[in-house]
Structure 1
Amino acid sequence: TNWVGQILGDLVAIFEKKTQNEASSVNNEELEEFPYLELGDTGKYERMKKLPSPRLICTHLLPENLPQSIFKNKAKILLLIRNPKDVAVSFYHFSNVMSPLPSYETWDDFFVAFMSKKMPWGCYFEYLTAWNKYADDENVMTITYEELKENPVLGVKNIAAFFGISLTEKELQNVVERSSFQSMKKNSQKTHGAFGNILFRKGGVSDWKNLFSEDQNKIMDKAFEERMGGTKLGTKLKYEMYCKA
């Protein structure tokens, strides 16, 4: 989400420069606002009202927990998903360095919690199942972490096209370069403060191979097939490619 947030922030800034005069364009502080809907101080909602369109809001929430006006007003939704094995490993490391979240003595303990729906934002499979109902909506675009890693240029192009933002080749390259893992990690103290070292760990694909046991692979493979097999989002994740040992 931080990665895509960086991309969208740059795209909004480009859009602003092309469509607004200097007097009405948003300033840097406002561009950095883009809050998570479920995190932070409640005063952010008033600040968000003052932001000119397009406003960018990030969230980890299920669709039923979102304000229904988002769907009624046909707001554009970019749905980012990632393969469950890397999600689990990433969240394991994240949980153990974020004091508000539960920490785990071992990876095995975390895996049990992950598979038994004991995560702060709920169950991974329930999240995908809920959003799968909206996967065919014209106002929803789904992108995977893995495809964005495979071809960031094409990914940024597709995201910009979805939001109706035209880019020159130079602008495209700038967005891609600024949103690379190396660039974001280097600038993390400026963009994310003390959280910088926590949020930017590896930024790769298939880190699950370093932690998953053979039994855990079988458990996850079975759960994915039962819950997501044959669904649009399940197919989009290319599980056979990214999650089979």
Structure 2
Amino acid sequence: MASSANNQEELGPVAKFFGRSEPFYDTAGMKDESGNPITLTLVDGKLYTPVGEGCVRGARSTRLRPDDVLLCGFCKTGCHWTWETMNMILREKAEYSAMGKGQGFLEMVPLSMIETLASPRVLNTHLDFDRLPEDILKYKTKLVITTRNPKDVAVSFYHHHRDLYEMYGYEGTFSEWMSLYLGGKVDNDGFFKYHADWDRAIKEHPEIPVLVVTYEDHAQDPVGTVKRLASFLSVNLDDETINAIAAATSFHPMKSDLKSKGMATHALLRKGEVCQWKDYLTVAQSEAIDKLVETQLAGTIFAEPRYQI
């Protein structure tokens, strides 16, 4: 746990952007195979993004509203892409948000920030189901879950950990980092544990409406993705609005909008492409991921071939 002195350090730009009162700090002591440390939060034996134990536990008591929608997903699975699309659909306008999904990031921003958001709110989180607000069961809150080819996630997630040095403090190479990814020693105990846990939760709570949206859906069928999301959110849109939202939320215009606003988060949206893993992964690394899919995701809703490209 960070000392009180560390908590008084000057906050970095990422912490300030999210309105945090303290910096990111390590409570896990995790290192890659070469000894490079990575900053993570450890809570009840599980690894999380380094927001601190209080933020992880605090999300559970967040008060929801009856018309809230919650976007859930493992890091780098198209969370911002889906959030922006959902926000436009609910407002029935192809207009970008002022702050992006950061303003409703359950485990990252202060509760006071979340409470100021106008309804209907699209809240978002990387947490597993058991850490979500208790009100989900009360209101049967609609959940949209993002996912993506785990090989492409590996590439994007590595850059995420390297680029967000203020959060993760990681300096290892891709090969060194892969030992963390394959071993589940990253946020949420890794891609495979996260998805297996979500599959269990979905099956245990059939009363909760859930829609799974893949990164590949956005990239390959933007109009169809808008239609699926609008139907799930019970919003009737005309074809002109659907096409406008699909165009506005195509990757490069969306990234350009974030950059034009001076938001550092634009850098976290890299290329918006599929199959970029072929330029990074060795045959052995690719086969290791295939094995994890086979052993940990077989029989789950996340074993569908549509994103295993």
Length-normalised TM-score, structure 1: 0.84
User: What is the distance in 2 between the residues matched to 1:93 and 1:210?
Assistant: 14
Specify the alignment match of 2:171 in structure 1.
104
Q: Quick check: 1:10 aligned with 2:88? A: yes
Specify the alignment match of 2:247 in structure 1.
177
Specify the alignment match of 2:184 in structure 1.
117
Secondary structure in structure 1 of the residue aligned to 2:84: helix
- Aligned residue among 269, 272, 294 for 1:203: 272
Name the CA shift for 1:223/1:76 in 2 (closer, same or farther; >3 Å): same
Specify the alignment match of 2:142 in structure 1.
76
How far did 1:125 drift?
A: 0.9
Identity, % of aligned pairs? 27
Matched ranges for 1:131-150 at <5 A: 131-135=198-202, 137=206, 139-150=209-220
Q: Which has the higher strand share?
A: 2
- 2:87 maps to amino acid: G
RMSD (Å), alpha carbons: 2.2
Structure with more contact order per residue of length (Cα contacts < 8 Å, sep ≥ 6): 1
Contact 2:81 2:249 (8 Å CA) reproduced: yes
Secondary structure in structure 2 of the residue aligned to 1:79: strand
Name the CA shift for 1:32/1:110 in 2 (closer, same or farther; >3 Å): closer
Name the CA shift for 1:173/1:59 in 2 (closer, same or farther; >3 Å): same
Secondary structure in structure 1 of the residue aligned to 2:124: coil
Secondary structure in structure 2 of the residue aligned to 1:58: strand
Q: Quick check: 1:213 aligned with 2:282? A: yes
Contact 1:104 1:110 (8 Å CA) reproduced: no
User: What is the distance in 2 between the residues matched to 1:108 and 1:33?
Assistant: 30
Name the CA shift for 1:30/1:151 in 2 (closer, same or farther; >3 Å): closer
Structure 2, unmatched stretches of 5+, are 1-78
- Aligned residue among 16, 36, 42 for 2:111: 42
Contact 2:148 2:214 (8 Å CA) reproduced: yes
Contact 2:103 2:113 (8 Å CA) reproduced: no
Length-normalised TM-score, structure 2: 0.67
How far did 1:9 drift?
A: 1.2
Secondary structure in structure 2 of the residue aligned to 1:40: coil
Secondary structure in structure 1 of the residue aligned to 2:223: helix
- Aligned residue among 291, 298, 302 for 1:222: 291
Secondary structure in structure 2 of the residue aligned to 1:187: helix
Name the CA shift for 1:190/1:70 in 2 (closer, same or farther; >3 Å): farther
Name the CA shift for 1:122/1:191 in 2 (closer, same or farther; >3 Å): farther
Q: Which has the higher helix share?
A: 1
Secondary structure in structure 2 of the residue aligned to 1:142: strand
- 1:116 maps to amino acid: G
Specify the alignment match of 2:33 in structure 1.
none
User: What is the distance in 2 between the residues matched to 1:167 and 1:45?
Assistant: 27
How far did 1:30 drift?
A: 9.1
Per-residue displacement from partner, 1:47-91 (whole Å, max 9, x unpaired)?
A: 24xx33x22101111001111211331010011111111111101
Specify the alignment match of 1:62 in structure 2.
128
Name the CA shift for 1:144/1:192 in 2 (closer, same or farther; >3 Å): farther
Contact 2:101 2:123 (8 Å CA) reproduced: no
